[in-house]
Amino acid sequence: MFDSTTRTVVVVGAQWGDEGKGKLVDVLAERADWVVRYQGGANAGHTVHIGDKSFILHQIPSGILHPGVRCAIGNGVVMDPETLFTEIDELIADGVDVEGRLYVSERAHLVMPYHKLVDKASAASKAIGTTGRGIGPAYEDKVARRGVRVLDLRNTERLRELVTAGVERANAQLERSGSDVRASVDETLATLGALAPRLLGLADDVGLCVHRAIKTGAAILLEGAQGSLLDIDHGTYPFVTSSNTTVGGAATGVGISPMALNAALGVVKAYTTRVGNGPLPTELEEPLQSHVRQLGHEFGATTGRPRRCGWFDGVVVRYAARVNGLTGLAITKLDVLDTLDELAVCTGYKIGGEVYTEFPADLSLLEKAEPVYEWFPGWKQSTQDARSLSDLPPAARAYLDRLEALCETPIAFVSVGTRRDQIIGVHAAVA
């Protein structure tokens, strides 16, 4: 995907998350110089399979698994320092060289222990279906201009003021929610004090580092978390995450100019999934839903929660293509559909006698939506050994052709398994 004119590429989820971004970033990172996470937090679960080993990366960019690639966590991420170092130590134990290759933006906000307590006790968070990892409360403090940033660890007096005020707010919320747990200023400061030397050793002006790398012609890969339909502005509000997951959030989440972005790869499953509450117009009925969930191992890498499964929704992906300006699609998990007798693709929503082909912002409309389907015969044979489009069964190629036309975006990659090598590069112009 990198060439002489395309040097800065964004990889973004174009559904409701869990699309397989980790694998695509891992594949593309082989040709990258930098891989940078631009939003989200430790709720990401980017899974990469290398041989017999599986790596689940929550905050560290997937490029860390390629020797020599520099990785960074941008200012748009709310970072959990405790789990970050657990992740680093696990990578080191597995033989991954992290030393000198990982940078953390000094402007990144920290997920504090009291954020997690508030998140777990919040009835609103339970209704939305969050992971309870403190990400929403951390973003809330960031927007309210009262958050704790990495650079605040350098100033102990300032840090104590921020933590004291944060603990007081958190305990008031916990009391209102009826929780019997409370945050502690001294315990919070002790935790941060133990982590500070190591974290400050990674801290840098990531935006400046990436800017300088771009100036030298380096290949830059920007990695998002969650999916476009979970974007705080453009997703299925209020059943969304707390950040801008779309390409527009990539430049601000790293600290570079939007003019530096050359291409955007949208990652989508060959069907649709989402975790938690909120609309899923193409959701499958039982027992087919459970069958597809088992075929695709659709359980959260971070939480273990079962994912809701549906047919491919062309309205959703075409909307994501427009909002992100996608230059290519990566279709993942095509192999999960190998044994199905027939497949459906949603081309529109029937709402109150009218057919909508554009994704509506109003959830009350989505709740009434009846998917308009086109049906395709299944190919009933394994695609896992395919390494080119010509290796795929004709029915599988016809299915992909329809997805490409419906989403108005060329397919760049097709993934047919979990391993690195189980991928098809399609169009050289976008791949």
> Does 46 participate in catalysis according to the annotation?
yes
Q: Report how far residue 224's alpha carbon sits from residue 40's, in angstroms, rounded to the nearest whole number.
A: 7
Confidence of residue 128 (pLDDT cuts 50, 70, 90): low
Confidence of residue 431 (pLDDT cuts 50, 70, 90): very low
Q: What percent of the chain has pLDDT over 70?
A: 95
What value does the mean pLDDT take over residues 368-372? 96
What class is the 109-200 domain?
mainly alpha
What value does the mean pLDDT take over residues 407-425? 95
Please report, as a single letter, which amino acid is at residue 80: D
pLDDT at position 294, please? Answer: 96
pLDDT value at 42 more than 90: no
Q: Report how far residue 425's alpha carbon sits from residue 427's, in angstroms, rounded to the nearest whole number.
A: 6
**pLDDT tens digits, 79-124:** 999 999 999 999 999 999 999 999 999 999 999 999 999 998 875 5
> Does 18 participate in catalysis according to the annotation?
yes
Confidence of residue 125 (pLDDT cuts 50, 70, 90): low
pLDDT at position 290, please? Answer: 97
What value does the mean pLDDT take over residues 198-206? 97
pLDDT at position 409, please? Answer: 97
pLDDT at position 57, please? Answer: 85
Whether 109-200 and 8-106+205-425 are alike in CATH topology: the answer is no
Residue spans of the domains in the chain: they are 8-106+205-425, 109-200
Confidence of residue 51 (pLDDT cuts 50, 70, 90): low
Confidence of residue 430 (pLDDT cuts 50, 70, 90): very low
Residue 201 marked ligand-binding: no
232 touches 222 (CB < 8 A): no
Closest CA to 400 of 418, 412, 385: 412
**pLDDT tens digits, 139-185:** 999 999 999 999 999 999 999 999 999 999 999 999 999 999 999 99
Residue 49 marked ligand-binding: no
Q: Which residue has the higher pLDDT, 215 or 431?
A: 215
Q: What is the mean pLDDT of the chain?
A: 93
Residue 368 marked ligand-binding: no
Q: Which of 46, 66, 120, 234 is catalytic?
A: 46
Whether CATH 3.40.440.10 fits 8-106+205-425: yes
pLDDT value at 9 more than 80: yes
pLDDT value at 422 more than 90: yes
Residue 231 marked ligand-binding: no
Confidence of residue 127 (pLDDT cuts 50, 70, 90): low
CA distances from 148 to 51, 95, 104, 265, 321 (A): 40, 32, 14, 32, 35
CA distances from 167 to 162, 187, 275, 351, 359 (A): 9, 10, 30, 47, 41
pLDDT at position 56, please? Answer: 82
pLDDT at position 206, please? Answer: 98
Q: Which of 18, 80, 152, 231 is catalytic?
A: 18
> Does 215 participate in catalysis according to the annotation?
no
Q: Report how far residue 376's alpha carbon sits from residue 341's, in angstroms, rounded to the nearest whole number.
A: 9
Closest CA to 418 of 23, 17, 104: 23
Q: What are phi and psi of 85, to 5 degrees?
A: -75, -25
Query: What pTM value is reported for the model?
Result: 0.92
Confidence of residue 130 (pLDDT cuts 50, 70, 90): low
**pLDDT tens digits, 245-261:** 999 999 999 999 999 99
Please name the residues in contact with 177: beta carbons below 8 A apart, sequence gap of 6 or more: 121, 122, 123
Residue 18 marked ligand-binding: yes
CA distances from 99 to 5, 67, 82, 96 (A): 31, 11, 18, 9
Q: Which of 58, 66, 120, 142 is catalytic?
A: 142
